[in-house]
Amino acid sequence: MLMVRYYTIGIFQGAEHPFHKTRLKKHNPLQRMAYLSLHVLISPTIWISGLLYLFYASWESWGLESFSLMIVALIHTAAAFAMLAFLIAHLYLSITMSEKPFGNVKAMITGYEEE
């Protein structure tokens, strides 16, 4: 809850960051939850619904004729919007939270951060 409050209000008030990185804990609790939801919920939903959408003609032979193409398309679209929201938030925070312009973007791309 502290991280949500910091990201929504504290950043704009110049508040101190409530989480301090350690060698073992590189991400704050909100980042961990966001990455977990990306890897466990959003990505598999996009892949599974995308494959179902791609192989629509094979549904009958797989015993999935009761599935609705419209529901699969809506699920796929909702997951794509969730991925887009994650990307926009990720880029916004990586650009605005660094001390030098675009400082965290390099870390976002390479996975390594200069300290």
Q: Are 7 and 34 in contact (CB under 8 A)?
A: no
| pLDDT (tens place) for every residue of the chain, 115 residues total | 777 788 778 777 877 877 777 777 777 888 888 889 999 999 999 999 999 999 999 999 999 989 999 999 999 999 999 999 999 988 888 787 777 777 777 777 777 766 6
Sequence letter at residue 102: F
Q: Quick one: pLDDT at residue 8?
A: 79
Cα within 13 Å of Cα(3), Cβ side: 11
